[in-house]
Amino acid sequence: MLKEFLEGFWAMTARIILRNRIAILLVLAAITVFLGMQWNKVNFSNAEASVLPNDHPAIVQYQSFVDLFGQEDNAIVLAVKDPALFTPVKFSRWNRLSKEIHALEEIDTVISLDNLHELVRDQVKDSFLFKPLITKTPTTIREIDSIKQHLYDLPFYENLVFNKETGSIRMVAYLDKQLLDEPVRNIFILNDLANAVKNFEEETGLDVKVSGMPYVRTWNAKTITDEISYFVLAALGVTSLIFFFFFRSFRATLISMCVVIIGVMWAFGIMGLLGFEITILTALIPPLIIVIGIPNCIFLINKYQQEVKKHGNQALSLQRVIIKIGNATLMTNVTTASGFATFIILDSLLLKEFGIVASLNILGIFILSLLIIPIIYSFMPLPKTKHLKHLNTQWIDTFVSWMERLVRDHRIAVYVTSLIILITSIIGIYQIKITGSRIEDLPKESHFFEDIQFFEEEFNGIMPVEVVVNTKRAKGVMKPATLNRMNDLATEIEETPELSTPLSVINLVKYSKQAFYSGMPKYYQMPSSQERSFITDAIRRSFFTSPKGDSLATEGAQEKKESEKLMEVFMDSTQQITRMTTFMRDVKTDRMEEIEESLYASIEKIFPAERYEVYLTGKALLFLKGTKYLVNNLLISLALAIALISLFMAYLFRSFRMIIISLIPNLLPLLITAGLMGFLGVPIKPSTILVFSIAFGISVDDTIHFLAKYRQELTANRWQIKKSVYAALRETGVSMFYTSIVLFFGFSVFVISSYGGTVALGALVSATLLFAMLANLVLLPSLLLSLERNIANKKVFKKPHINILEEEEVPRKK
């Protein structure tokens, strides 16, 4: 019943398309215009891509932290490493830059030499006061040197504002937290901030390094947005050149380019219609549509020219193209879309949106090619003889004959070679590491990557790690036991090379002791048991608010404001929960995991669980959790893709043995690629694990084409296996070679990316598809011939539910 229905359906579809050509073109134009109107809704995502689901424990903890202290990744850092800064004119210009940045409405506050405050003791009130570090503008080098030496005597600001060993000076500008995920952030950083820095550099000749998570995210977004156009143009250029090389027809090339260009327009329109923003993954979809759409055009145009050459009847040729190739391309596009659609069921919003848009647009490009190509050709004259010459290209015939001889005469060599490659690949797989880093895939030649490396060396990185300590009781933070335990943990953190000296209320306590002893640097340490009572009492009078709401000892509105803001940074209003902020260098996820385990071991040892609740959070650790979560989910996605496509092929061919046979030439290339990754040191990470699901979904198309043709030949040749295998190889070999070469070079355009992950994705998918082509053209026919008695009989190879290729396509043998 299903077979008869589909036969009738495709015959009816052909009639509708060819009898309503103008109407269909108008409908397609209207849809294209409508989707084009949705483009203004498509923006690059300003928010950091959500990898973990909202109910993941790491997200719950991070959100709890944000509710208490706000976003912790809003700092933009600027630094200069040049002795010339400490000259009157340039020193004054640096302080003016601080004022200019602070005056910008997008900036909440700035910590710089210009506005640093020194903690001093008020002996009359037995409290501490904040006094400006610089009270007047220095006019001589001697005055600047005095300020510099005074600054170096304040360990509280070390690694925050200065690096004493190298002489680097840093400014920290905190962006308004409400603007972190808004488009105005990009405008501010790319224009206002960039202009202020540029003017400073031009006037002083000093090189300013700029970084921080908002800065990196903005330039990262700009680079990805710029690369989309490069990818689309490169994909169009490469695929059109290859297409023309094969077909030697400007007309066929232009028609195909029109189809995929409209497909790209639909891709952006669908993203806008669904309200999806451009992420690092969805940015890949437009060039993917071009690369995947061209094979559809190859199959349809190649079939049309074959029919024209056979009988010269244009109407009949177009009808047969729709009926015979329409079903085949639908099946192959469905399998490809299925590979992407498996991402939809994952909890990751990033992957879910990618799966939805990719699978919808793959089906969309199928519809466009099926409608546009026959209709456009129906208005054109028949192809000339010169346009059909490629059907008899000598070198292609030579290639197919070589494969046929290989399958016929050297099957043992094929199996031995495949086994050796398999064993070698398995050895390589055991050398793969699941790792990656937050900045590893960023453009290495970009100025913002170089600046990140500068801050790595000078200030131990820009990625925040937060330690949240809940004392489980009000005012528990300032208890001596809590402070001592926090100091012990701070010592453990300082001993970790990849982490910076933590900043917390401990630093304020140490600074208070230094201030108590007239600012002598050697007293920047925790108070002794004898000193603790009067120093902590002075701290409470200085920095905490009385029940009436008045500061007990700060003098003046500015000092009161500074003390209150300082306490808001370090602890909550009840003094029950506090934070310790450190910064992590860019390290691989396996090392990051070791650091996390080490810190939790220290926390367990230092803080009794019954008295304290302590956890780690911050964007650095969210990246670690997100990477592991993503890798695990992508492995699940690959398994689902294999299972889904296996079920689909079982429905098509109704043979369990054929499923096993068909999976071997498609799984072997995945193993080969994984082995290469191990030998070449390419780690498993989000950008590379995508390779396997994408490549499997595409490569299985060749298997479907070959097996469908093979079964058809079996019927026509009365189950003569060898004759059927060779006939199927000759018939499908050319199209499989064409499409595989297009896919290989099409995915290769991603290697022009400045992002390491995108380069790896393009190179690995291209290699996998090339291996898959060879496996489907050599290993699959060899298996069919070797196992002919087990699989090639009417009982095992039953009549399929769906005929992918029409029986009349095969000339009947006499």
- Of the given ranges (82-91, 652-661, 749-758, 769-778), which has the lowest mean pLDDT? 652-661
Q: What is the pLDDT of residues 741-754, one digit of tens each?
A: 888 888 888 888 87
- Report CA torsion sign: 321, 324, 326, 331: negative
Separation CA 775–CA 716 (nearest Å): 25
> Chain-centre distance of CA 329, in angstroms?
30
pLDDT digits over 112-129, tens only?
A: 988 888 888 887 777 788
- Report d(CA 597, CA 603) in Å as an integer: 10
Position 79 pLDDT exceeds 90: yes
Give residue-wise pLDDT tens across range 188-202.
Answer: 898 999 999 999 999
Residue type, 744: F
Contacts 24+ apart (CB under 8 A), 419-425: 421/668, 421/672, 422/668, 422/671, 424/675, 425/671, 425/672, 425/674, 425/675, 425/676
Res 700 pLDDT > 70 = yes
> Would you list the DSSP string of 255-270?
HHHHHHHHHHHHHHHH
Q: How far apart are CA 315 and CA 303, in angstroms?
A: 13
pLDDT at residue 557 in the model: 45
Confidence band (pLDDT; 50, 70, 90) for 336? Answer: confident
**Residue 664 burial (CB count, 10 A):** 15
Higher pLDDT residue, 66 or 1? 66
Q: Name the residue ranges covered by the structural domains of the chain.
A: 2-48+218-379+398-430+624-809
58, 167 Cβ separation under 8 angstroms: no
pLDDT at 333: 84
- Which own/partner pairs from 330-334 qualify as long-range (CB within 8 Å, at least 24 positions apart)? 330/366, 330/370, 331/652, 331/704, 331/802, 331/804, 332/701, 332/704, 332/705, 333/296, 333/362, 333/363, 333/365, 333/366, 334/363, 334/648
With 50 as the cut, is the pLDDT of residue 679 above it? yes
Q: Which amino acid is at 229?
A: S
CA dist 742 to 227, 244, 328, Å? 21, 11, 18
Give the mean model confidence (pLDDT) for residues 692-711. 77
pLDDT tops 50 at residue 99: yes
Q: Identify the helix (H) or strand (E) that includes residue 582.
A: strand 577-584
Element holding 583 (H helix, E strand): strand 577-584
Query: What is the pLDDT, as a whole number, of residue 350?
Result: 79
pLDDT at 253 over 70: yes
Q: Which residue has the higher pLDDT, 603 or 811?
A: 603
Q: What is the pLDDT of residue 49?
A: 62
CATH number of 2-48+218-379+398-430+624-809: 1.20.1640.10
Beta bridge partners of 122: 127
- Assess contact for 272 and 38: CB atoms under 8 A: yes
Rounded-to-10 torsion of CA 154, 160, 166, 169: -100
Residue 608 has a pLDDT of 92
Which residue matches tokens 């991402």? 343
Least confident window among 43-57, 308-322, 478-492, 520-534? 43-57
The 10s digit of each residue's pLDDT in 442-459 is 777 778 888 888 988 888
DSSP letters of 139-174?
Answer: -SHHHHHHHHHHHHT-GGGBTTTEETTTTEEEEEEE
Return left, alpha or beta for 307; rule: phi > 0 is left, psi -120 to 50 is alpha, else beta: alpha
**Confidence grade of residue 808 (pLDDT, cut at 50, 70, 90):** very low
Instruction: Please compute the mean of the pLDDT values over residues 588-593 and round it to a whole number.
Output: 82
